[in-house]
Amino acid sequence: RPAVRGRLVRHEASGLTLGYSVDALSGFFLLVLAALGIAVAVYSLGYFAHSSPGRTAFVGTAFNVLLGSVEMVFVADGAIGFLLAWELMTLATAALVATEHEHAQTRRAAFLYLALSHIGTGCLVPSRRVTALSSTTSTDAVNCVPSGLGPAVATTGSVSNRPRRGR
């Protein structure tokens, strides 16, 4: 089946378009995310039952932002949309890690998570160039693969159905 594609936002002055593309693989990951999200939400009801209403509201909001940003990571059809969703996912996760910020150990864990996540994000940009150079000569096929997913994804056939040379 062909992928379902669409456009979320288009900025006319810059030509920037944030769009999505849902194919069978991303649809599978969305279903897994939904199942896990429901399980975590149900577990969190008991976990935060004795917390203050303000903390419970914060966790609920941050958790929903996290789920939405992970969904955007799964369906982003371009590098800019993928990186924006990735950063939003990082910030939402750090906020959830820092929920019990009264404890120094929790604050340190949130800071460490942010630092290491941004180092990892910095590695995504060069990996896009490696993907482009190693997997195909077509920029159209490379642009369909979110940055950092590697050459294995770019050569699965779902991105490029052209036969390889020499076969």
Question: Residue 158: what pLDDT?
Answer: 38
Taking alpha carbons only, the member of 66, 10, 80, 128 closest to residue 58 is 66
DSSP 77-118: -SHHHHHHHHHHHHHHHHHHHGGGTTSHHHHHHHHHHHHHHH
Query: Tens of pLDDT along 87-146?
Result: 999 999 999 999 888 888 989 999 999 999 988 888 877 776 666 666 544 444 445 444
Which is more confident, 161 or 11? Answer: 11
pLDDT reading at 76 higher than 70: yes
Question: Residue 118: what pLDDT?
Answer: 87
Query: Tens of pLDDT along 37-71?
Result: 999 999 998 888 888 888 889 999 999 999 999 99
Taking alpha carbons only, the member of 165, 161, 129 closest to residue 148 is 129
Q: What is the pTM of this model?
A: 0.70
Question: Residue 152: what pLDDT?
Answer: 40
Query: 12 is written with which tokens?
Result: 């006319």
The mean pLDDT of 74-87, rounded to a whole number, is 90
